[in-house]
Chains A and B, each alone.
Chain A
Amino acid sequence: MNIRKDRRFFEEKLIKGIMRFCALLLAGLLILIVTTIAVKGFSALNLSMLVNTAKGGFYLGKEGGILHAIIGSFCIAGGATCLAFFISTPIVLYINVYRKKRSKLAELIRFAFNVLWGIPSIVYGAFGFTCMLFLGLKASLLAGILVITLVEIPILARGIDEVVQHVPIEITQAALSLGATTGETAWKVVIRQILPGIITAMLLAFGRGIGDAAAVLFTAGFSDYIPESLMQPVATLPLVIFFQLGTPFPSVQNRAYASAFILTLLVLSISLMARFFSKKLSRHRIDHM
């Protein structure tokens, strides 16, 4: 009896130790990745990289910076996040406020968002490319924004949907019983409740948009200057990193590390900001009535 019992507790301890180790390793991996990039990138970083665009022979080790790529990434991710917001918010409000609780259509649309969320960005890129050929568009900022919009829609919609589902049904009912139409309930009452959630989701989608490389590869083209119109090709930060790393020159590769450091910094601060907003802004939310 005693031996059996000992074995049981030994097994318990052993398994628990292994599992805890796995969880700790996860945090270790994150620290390892961030410090690797930070150590390699910080030493290669200098100010002129941040305030200049690529000059001739930039990828051969000559003068220049990556300002154009930083601005390009912001333009693409910013534009796409705005567009995605205007597409996904109405849909999410529709399936939550307009449809009944166990609506088949709502479930189907949620399912479609889940599936779209799992489609890799390279497929979005290829699809965007076929659309561009169909419409006669050239690789440009506009095409890049449109494709990233498609990538971001499911991310944003899933994020917002999760928050909307937590809005108590009583709030909707109260609004409706006061004589508000469904539209007024959705756009004037429910949306105020989920505003923090929307901002968090938008920041997360923005972060994804900035880091995406495979989808813009086909559609946004590549350039060495800051785009002046929607029809010009544009460089993005991930692609600049990728191309710089692909050169055989150590000095250019060093710049890739520095660019990667900047990208990591951007994405991490966006992610932390999203976390901050979701905590800060949800303080005044009504959860139960």
Chain B
Amino acid sequence: MEKLRLFKNRIGTLLMKTLSFTVLLLLFAMGTGLFLRSQALLADKPISDLLFSSAWRPSAGEYGYLTFIFGTLMVTLYALLIAVPFSICAAVYLSEYAKKRTRDFFKSVIDILASIPSVIFGLWGVLIIVPMVKEIGSVLFGASSTGYSLLSAALVLAVMILPFIIHIVLEVLQTISVSLREAALAMGATSWQAIKHVVLRKALPGIIAACGLGLARAFGETMAVMMVAGNIAQISISPFEPTYTLPALIANNYGEMFSIPLYDSALMFAAFILFAIILLFNIISWIVFYRVKRRL
């Protein structure tokens, strides 16, 4: 009886340990799997040609990712520009000024907003944001736009990453000890001065980490961006021009993947680029985040 229990325990431990290591391997497997699939393309073309050429003509065997990388970067950048100030303001208000009940209520709002599927955000974008951008473009800037544009994609994306960034900034702000604030207040600072000079300064690395995570999240968003971005491959920084992102490229073309040679490999390479960039940003941001949390 005693032996059986210990034996069961030993077997169980072994199984659980193996399972844990398998998850560690999963990240590695994803990277290698995608990389191996894109080998066919990489063997055929030098990598600098792929990354720095904007010619995307699969039927002619030309695969240049520059336009798509540029489009993804622009959409992400615009989205961050909109979302970051907004989320820092909201997070600071909720953490520093709001009562506990208000904070809890808004935490629920954030959670619910985060649980809405991206297709719904996309549809909302098509119904509300796209006509709005079209109007703004024609009335204020005289740009004739269909509304399916960089700006629409960025706005929808900004709304999608808002709850995400706020959640993390809130977590960072809550780890800062109350005595620091009290010290500042006792010196005669107003609440805002205490926040500006003490809390935000202390939280800065954590806030930057939150932005990094938001960036990674925005970079890989597929459906919502694809539905409102217009999906025309061109390099343009005008917010009213359509754009095309890497995830949208993959999702739009998976159907004809096997009809053209190297096409499947090319799409998997696109996924690999996405994976690599997002992995990098995630790892750096989480390391910063952990450091901040440990220090406070």
Write the residues of chain A forming the contact surface with B, with a CB cutoff of 8 angstroms. 8-9, 11-12, 15-16, 18-20, 22-23, 25-27, 29-30, 32-33, 36-37, 40, 87, 90-91, 93-95, 98, 105, 108-109, 111-116, 118-124, 126-127, 129-131, 133-134, 150, 153, 157, 181-184, 187, 204, 207-208, 210-214, 217-218, 238, 241-242, 245, 256-257, 260, 263-264, 267-268, 270-272, 275
Contact = CB atoms under 8 A, between A and B. Distances in A.
Contacts of B268: 126, 129-130
Nearest to A208: B115
Contact of A214 (B33, B97, B127, B222): B222
For the residues of B in contact with A, the DSSP-based class is: helix
A257 B123 contact: yes
Across the A-B interface, give the 8 residue pairs with the lowest CB-CB distance, nearest first.
A120-B220, A211-B117, A126-B271, A19-B93, A181-B9, A22-B89, A94-B16, A214-B222
B127 A40 contact: yes
Contact of B124 (A33, A109, A211): A33
B13 A112 contact: no
Interface residues of B, number: 82
B121 to A, nearest CB: 7
B222 to A, nearest CB: 4
B128 interface: yes
Best-buried of B30, B121, B247 by chain A (most CB within 10 Å): B30
B34 interface: yes
A115 B286 contact: yes
A223 to B, nearest CB: 15
Interface in B63-118: 86-87, 89-90, 92-94, 97-98, 106, 108-113, 115-118
A26 B108 contact: no
A90 B16 contact: yes
A40 to B, nearest CB: 6
Interface stretch (B51-59, B179-187, B190-198): B190-198
Interface in B252-296: 254, 267-268, 271, 274-275, 278-279, 282-283, 286, 290
A268 B286 CA distance: 29
A119 B220 contact: yes
Contact of B123 (A18, A116, A153, A245): A245
A185 B295 CA distance: 32
A153 B25 CA distance: 14
A176 to B, nearest CB: 12
A142 B120 CA distance: 25
Contacts of A275: 108, 111
Interface of B: 5-6, 8-9, 12-13, 15-17, 19-20, 23-24, 26-27, 29-30, 33-34, 36-37, 86-87, 89-90, 92-94, 97-98, 106, 108-113, 115-124, 126-128, 159, 162-163, 166, 190-193, 213, 216-217, 219-223, 227, 247, 250-251, 254, 267-268, 271, 274-275, 278-279, 282-283, 286, 290
A91 B20 contact: yes
A93 B20 CA distance: 10
Contacts of B15: 90
A26 B127 contact: no
B216 A118 contact: yes
A208 B117 CA distance: 7
A26 B23 contact: no
Contact of B97 (A16, A26, A32, A116): A16
Contact of A212 (B24, B117, B282): B117
Contacts of B251: 122, 214, 217
A41 B36 CA distance: 44
A37 B220 contact: no
6 contacts: A16-B97, A37-B120, A114-B286, A115-B282, A238-B117, A241-B119
